[in-house]
Structure 1
Amino acid sequence: GNNFLRWVKLLYTNPKANVLTNNIVSNPITLERSTRQGCPLSPMLFILAIEPLAMTIRMRTDIFGVQLGDQEHRLALYADDLIVFMTRLSISIPKLIQQMEVFGQFSGYNINDSKSSILFLNKDERLNPIMQTPFINAKEGFVYLGVKITPNIDA
């Protein structure tokens, strides 16, 4: 509640840091964005900040997930790694990109396109994507949290 917010504000109002290089400590540097690297609170604050995006993706009726049994799966989120599962791509991809842009406008968090991949499971789409996206077309697969994700479901 309010106590939590007060503590976070206390920790992150006018934060400063020093750089240690060759045992020489720099003058204080004002940190203007983000959280301190290595701060144990940083991952938790990020989770609180990114959850509205995850909730919105889950609730949108125009972003279609993958149906497994009676459950529709749209995304998995671990720290700042997000993986999205979609079908009806000609509708879902533009809506996802639009939602991420809206989220970026109000949060300041933007997806790094050069680190973002799209993997089409359908071979024809993989070789000839149905649309251009800002993401890397990972035709052979990609690594997510240390696990190789490939288009070959049997792999």
Structure 2
Amino acid sequence: MYARSTARVKVNGMLSETFDLKRGTKQGDPLSAQIFAICIEPLAEKIRNNLKIKGVSVQEDEHKLALYADDIIVYITDIKQTLPALLEEINKYGEISGYKLNHNKTEAMEIGENLENDFKKQFKLKWTRDKVRYLGIKIPNNLENLYQYNYGELLNTIRQDLTRWKIVPLTLFEKVRIIKMNILPRYIFLFQNLPIHIKEKSFKLWESQLRNFLWDGNKPRVKMKVLQDNKEKGGLSLPNLKNYFFATHVRTMLVWFNEQKNPKWKQIELKLWHCRHL
């Protein structure tokens, strides 16, 4: 799978002699994630097959966990029986692999069930009834707060960043680059991973925030639509957030209608809506 791998070290612009890599992989090597996925799968299988660990049932299917590299989210019911069994499986796996829970980052959220404090104290977890964070997305106990915890907090963070950048003397071109390289990726991340309905007033608020940054709070000298045009048309290719929002949703719809792709989230949605095809 991985043989005769070599590397060189660059120090002060000088490259060392080539040497063999006896263990591990190079930084950024795609094989690294694949190897980790293979190594973590035995733990996932143990959790799936353990009858004491009760997951969430959607019709006849039971769902217990989702994995992304070393980030694992587990959704369980019958907590008093399930949680001890779950942690036992993780500890057994850790004794062999060295993989252990990071208790400073491991969060547990109660949904509907009120657990006694004495029960919670048995486990070194960060208990919350409000929200948990997984892969950069804040998942609230109440789904009505999904927008506020993600887009609302992002809006506040960007507002603080733009306020700091106002101190720096920047040209209009430089401000557009900042929006493209720093602001836009943060919105796209949420557009792609949190495909929820966004009201028109939110887009207007975001655009107003960017307009204020571009013109230092003064009256705009060029309309946003002109700035959003291609450079060939006299614009600066300023990102149109609404267009990016719709584009990412179309991408999600392509997965919905592609019967050859069947990720777990799609299976769950189809079950919940009692349909076989879209």
Give the TM-score range, shorter chain.
0.7 to 0.9
Q: 2:275 corresponds to which residue? A: none
Relative contact order (alpha carbons < 8 A, sep ≥ 6): 1 or 2 greater? 1
Matched, 1:46 2:36: yes
Q: 1:70 corresponds to which residue? A: 60
Matched, 1:59 2:49: yes
TM-score (norm 2): 0.45
TM-score (norm 1): 0.75
Q: 1:94 corresponds to which residue? A: 84
Residue ranges of structure 2 left out of the alignment (5+ in a row): 146-278
CA RMSD of aligned residues (A): 3.0
Q: Which amino acid aligns with 1:85?
A: Y
CA distance in 2, matches of 1:33, 1:89: 40
CA distance in 2, matches of 1:77, 1:147: 14
Q: Classify 1:138/1:31 alpha carbon distance in 2 versus 1 (closer, same or farther; 3 Å).
A: farther
Q: 2:109 corresponds to which residue? A: 119
Q: Classify 1:112/1:22 alpha carbon distance in 2 versus 1 (closer, same or farther; 3 Å).
A: farther
Q: Which amino acid aligns with 1:151?
A: N
Q: Which amino acid aligns with 2:129?
A: K
Q: 2:124 corresponds to which residue? A: 134
Q: After superposing the two structures, state which structure 1 stretch, 108-117 or 96-105, moved more.
A: 108-117
Matched, 1:83 2:73: yes
CA distance in 2, matches of 1:25, 1:138: 51
Q: 2:205 corresponds to which residue? A: none
Moved over 6 A (4+): 24-28, 30-33
Q: Secondary structure at the match of 1:134?
A: coil
1:40-70 per-residue CA deviation (whole Å, 9 max, x = no partner) reads 1100000000001001100000001011222
Q: Classify 1:17/1:120 alpha carbon distance in 2 versus 1 (closer, same or farther; 3 Å).
A: farther
Q: CA deviation at 1:116?
A: 1.0
In terms of Rg, which structure is larger?
2
CA distance in 1, matches of 2:24, 2:124: 25
Q: Which amino acid aligns with 1:144?
A: Y
Q: Is the 8 A contact 1:117 1:136 kept in 2?
A: yes
Q: CA deviation at 1:98?
A: 0.7
Residue ranges of structure 1 left out of the alignment (5+ in a row): 1-6
Q: CA deviation at 1:124?
A: 2.9
Q: Classify 1:32/1:103 alpha carbon distance in 2 versus 1 (closer, same or farther; 3 Å).
A: farther
Q: Classify 1:26/1:88 alpha carbon distance in 2 versus 1 (closer, same or farther; 3 Å).
A: farther
Q: Which amino acid aligns with 1:53?
A: L
Q: CA deviation at 1:121?
A: 0.9
